[in-house]
Amino acid sequence: MQTLAVDIATTFVDDAAALVTGLGRAALKLAMAPIDRIANACDIAGVLTERRATFRMWRANRARHNGRRFGLLRRLSPFRHLAHLT
């Protein structure tokens, strides 16, 4: 019986945390909307669009390689952040 109460409490806390996170994201998106519109209007060269596409590509690549372990040499390499240039 005690484990059921703990499970219910844990589920409630997890749901409350998810609700707060979602509301925070929604409020942040609402507050940033005018700034994003101004930034997109001023983006003549398309730098923001390219940066967003690069970030999406990086995130998809990271999700695909998430299960793989990286060696110590690759983690300590000073050029590890330049891998997307090759």
38 and 62: one domain? no
Q: Indicate yes or no: pTM above 0.75.
A: no
Cα–Cα distance for residue pair 36/40, rounded to 1 Å: 6
Domain span at residue 85? 48-86
Cα–Cα distance for residue pair 52/30, rounded to 1 Å: 19
Determine the distance from the C-alpha atom of residue 35 to the mean position of all C-alpha atoms in its chain, rounded to a whole number: 20
32 and 52: one domain? no
- pLDDT, residue 84, reads 60
58 and 38: one domain? no
- The total number of structural domains in the chain stands at 2
The pLDDT tens digits along the chain (86 residues) read 568 888 888 899 999 999 999 999 999 999 999 998 998 889 888 888 888 888 888 888 876 665 555 566 666 777 666 666 65
For 13, phi then psi, to 5°, come to -65, -40
38 and 3: one domain? yes
- pLDDT, residue 74, reads 65
82 and 66: one domain? yes
- The residue assigned the tokens 């060696």 is 71
Structure token digits, residue 34: 């005018």
